Structure 1
Amino acid sequence: MSQLRATKSGLLICTVVGIFIFLYLRNPTQEEPEEEPTYPAVAECGFYPDELCSALFERKGAAPEIAKFCKNPQRSEILAHLHAPGNCSRISQGLHFITRPLSAEEGNFSLAYIITTHKQLAMFVQLLRAIYVPQNVYCIHVDEKAPKKHKTAVQTLVNCFENVFIASKRKKVAYTGFTRLQADINCMRDLVHSKFQWNYVINLCGQDFPIKTNKEIIHYLRSKWNDKNITPGVIQPANIKLKTSQSRPEFSPEENICVSPNTRFKYEAPHNLTIYFGSAYYVLTRKFVEFILTDIRAKDMLQWSKGIRSPEHHYWVTLNRLKDAPGATPNAGWEGNVRAVKCRHEEGNVHDGCKGHYVQDTCVYGLGDLPWIIQSPSLFAHKFEPSADPLVVRCLERRHRWAVLRQADVPAEPHWHFPQQSHFNMDLNG
């Protein structure tokens, strides 16, 4: 009897919240009450209205407060598919993967991706299916320190796609340090020796998410860069007063891309290289990757990089400024629009503040950051923690898939669509 009362209570709470969302979002011009109403906590509401996502993108006042009442039911759906593996067709269709090229243009222009992951399996799956198309190729570096369940689930997913594979060499990765740099290079070597042809390689971590579609990324690369590498950065600033310890241990299980440059180096760079400071994230041509793996300057700089802090912020941009490197951009600066990031020191200048919370001076996005993210010209955004605000990625994912299918030149398969969700579609078992 008590279980029945609990079920009825949950039904009543979800119904009340659903009605409130419906009335508010259908009548957005109504005046807000003088006092903020209080609502009972809802453990699992089991629905995410598309109207609520739209309201969050449009900065409608009460939407972030409403969104707090429900947890994301999708995580359990994703984990169920990967922890109880069946045939691959069921996995790819159940997880809504795109299974054929969406246009001739995209089919003839392949991208390679390097993704490093060590936790948050559901977020990894959301990222992979957002960027996945069968003509691209994906190297997944699963951190050696990742839990066994995470490794097993990633392997289960990877086994279902010919063009997705685990890096042949894996390391315990500190996400700002030499091992981070080495993980990318290991994947690059695998990608070059794979049977797949590709035009550019893009590196991602498990807390990134695309803002642009595959077609939009291709258009951007062809129109703005035309066989050039994108490595945002400038000459290592000389006036930064910051302690630099050559023996400093690699730190942080989290990704921190808002680091400062080194002030000095213990040893001179090899081959008289001018050291640049920039983003750890890049878009590189295949020929440049082959250069990285074979050129003596690149090899010697890789060895030199073992002795500096955050070498991934120096390595790619320095080598891409060499005039004879394939696809080099010797005169480039910070341009490139690879990542949308909110760094604490740029608050009030580059962005309007972090609406989520900062981790090591990098913003973990909250619901209030969604309008800023979708207005960014960048290809990807960093960084997300679905455990903190699951609806942030959920809304971006649904918006991204809608854009992908709208731009497609082929009819959409039924499983490419995410389930329609509105205030009338409630799964109380979610």
Structure 2
Amino acid sequence: MDSLTNEERDFPIAYSVLVYESPEQFEILLRAIYRPQNAYCVHVDRKTTENVFNEISCIAQCFLNVKLASKRMEVEWGKIGIVLAELSCMKDLLSFSKWKYFMNITGREFPLRTNYELVKILKIYNGSNDGESTIKRANKDRWAIGEKPPHDIHPVKGSVHVTLNRKFVENLVNNSEVLKDKG
């Protein structure tokens, strides 16, 4: 329950955690990444059983800086539900204090770096974002959309995990063009 160092305390990180099973594994993950200055949004897949959802909800309720995503989506690998779940958490995380970076993980992962090491790395980023995409490997069949995407957007294959600065997330969530398209 301690931020451990002043450097960590002054550099909060926001986490989106996508979970669909194993509350025990989620609890172990949260124990490993938890710091009181950080913010956590936990998206529990809409397909998850009520019992598992309730267990994860109980864990989240133990902390002021851990909240369940306000919108639950059905998440399938390689489908738009993953993007929508992450966007939901991004929006929810903006209500937390001024975190510096957003990182997304799943409930089945475990960190290879300590919070202190992450802070050191993210400071070196100096506001840069970390994500990748390629048009070559894009599986356009996954995007069975009845209509053409807006703004001449072309589907690409991107990395599952990203590290984004707060300003980027704010723009992504609050962009007037995106909001206009949501109706």
Same fold (TM over 0.5): yes
Match of 2:121 in 1: 220
Q: Deviations over 1:1-59 (max 9, x none)?
A: xxxxxxxxxxxxxxxxxxxxxxxxxxxxxxxxxxxxxxxxxxxxxxxxxxxxxxxxxxx
Deviation at 1:220, TM superposition (A): 0.9
The yes-or-no answer on 1:101 pairing with 2:3 is yes
Deviation at 1:199, TM superposition (A): 0.6
Cα distance in 2 for partners of 1:173, 1:221 equals 28
Cα distance in 2 for partners of 1:198, 1:272 equals 32
**Pairing 1:166-181 to 2, within 5 Å after superposition:** 166-181=68-83
Structure 2 counterpart SS, 1:139? strand
The yes-or-no answer on 1:182 pairing with 2:182 is no
Match of 2:131 in 1: 231
Match of 1:144 in 2: 46
Q: 1:119 and 1:213, CA in 2 relative to 1: closer, same or farther beyond 3 A?
A: same
Structure 1 consecutive aligned stretches of length 4 or more whose deviation exceeds 6 Å: 300-303
Cα distance in 1 for partners of 2:143, 2:111 equals 35
Deviation at 1:270, TM superposition (A): 3.6
Tell me if the contact between 1:137 and 1:163 (Cα under 8 Å) persists in the aligned partners. Answer: yes
Match of 2:160 in 1: 280
The yes-or-no answer on 1:244 pairing with 2:145 is no
Q: 1:144 and 1:296, CA in 2 relative to 1: closer, same or farther beyond 3 A?
A: same
Cα distance in 1 for partners of 2:67, 2:131 equals 25
Match of 1:428 in 2: none
Q: 1:156 and 1:216, CA in 2 relative to 1: closer, same or farther beyond 3 A?
A: same
Deviation at 1:294, TM superposition (A): 2.1
Structure 2 counterpart SS, 1:174? coil
The yes-or-no answer on 1:295 pairing with 2:175 is yes
Q: 1:131 and 1:247, CA in 2 relative to 1: closer, same or farther beyond 3 A?
A: same
Q: Deviations over 1:337-378 (max 9, x none)?
A: xxxxxxxxxxxxxxxxxxxxxxxxxxxxxxxxxxxxxxxxxx
Tell me if the contact between 2:138 and 2:156 (Cα under 8 Å) persists in the aligned partners. Answer: no
Cα distance in 2 for partners of 1:125, 1:241 equals 34
Q: TM-score, normalised by structure 2?
A: 0.87
Tell me if the contact between 2:139 and 2:157 (Cα under 8 Å) persists in the aligned partners. Answer: no
Tell me if the contact between 1:271 and 1:297 (Cα under 8 Å) persists in the aligned partners. Answer: no
Match of 1:315 in 2: none
Structure 1 counterpart SS, 2:141? coil
Cα distance in 2 for partners of 1:158, 1:241 equals 36
- Structure 2 portions without partners, runs of 5+: none
The yes-or-no answer on 1:110 pairing with 2:12 is yes
Deviation at 1:175, TM superposition (A): 3.0
- Structure 1 portions without partners, runs of 5+: 1-98, 249-265, 304-430
Q: 1:107 and 1:275, CA in 2 relative to 1: closer, same or farther beyond 3 A?
A: same
Cα distance in 2 for partners of 1:241, 1:205 equals 22
Match of 2:103 in 1: 202
Match of 1:154 in 2: 56
Q: 1:274 and 1:150, CA in 2 relative to 1: closer, same or farther beyond 3 A?
A: closer
Of the candidates 18, 28, 35, which is equivalent to residue 126 of structure 1? 28
Deviation at 1:100, TM superposition (A): 0.9
Q: 1:158 and 1:142, CA in 2 relative to 1: closer, same or farther beyond 3 A?
A: same
Which one has more relative contact order, counting CA pairs under 8 Å at least 6 apart? 2
Cα distance in 1 for partners of 2:126, 2:100 equals 11
Cα distance in 2 for partners of 1:287, 1:241 equals 27
Deviation at 1:122, TM superposition (A): 1.6
Structure 2 counterpart SS, 1:193? coil
Report the residue type matching 2:102 in the other structure: V
Q: 1:242 and 1:130, CA in 2 relative to 1: closer, same or farther beyond 3 A?
A: closer
Structure in which a larger fraction of residues adopt strand: 2
Q: How many residues align?
A: 183
Structure 1 counterpart SS, 2:71? coil
Q: 1:282 and 1:298, CA in 2 relative to 1: closer, same or farther beyond 3 A?
A: farther
Match of 2:151 in 1: 271
Tell me if the contact between 2:101 and 2:164 (Cα under 8 Å) persists in the aligned partners. Answer: yes
Q: 1:302 and 1:116, CA in 2 relative to 1: closer, same or farther beyond 3 A?
A: farther
Q: Deviations over 1:308-334 (max 9, x none)?
A: xxxxxxxxxxxxxxxxxxxxxxxxxxx
Structure 2 counterpart SS, 1:210? coil
Tell me if the contact between 2:79 and 2:142 (Cα under 8 Å) persists in the aligned partners. Answer: no
Q: TM-score, normalised by structure 1?
A: 0.39
Structure 2 counterpart SS, 1:109? coil
Deviation at 1:272, TM superposition (A): 4.1
Structure number, greater radius of gyration: 1
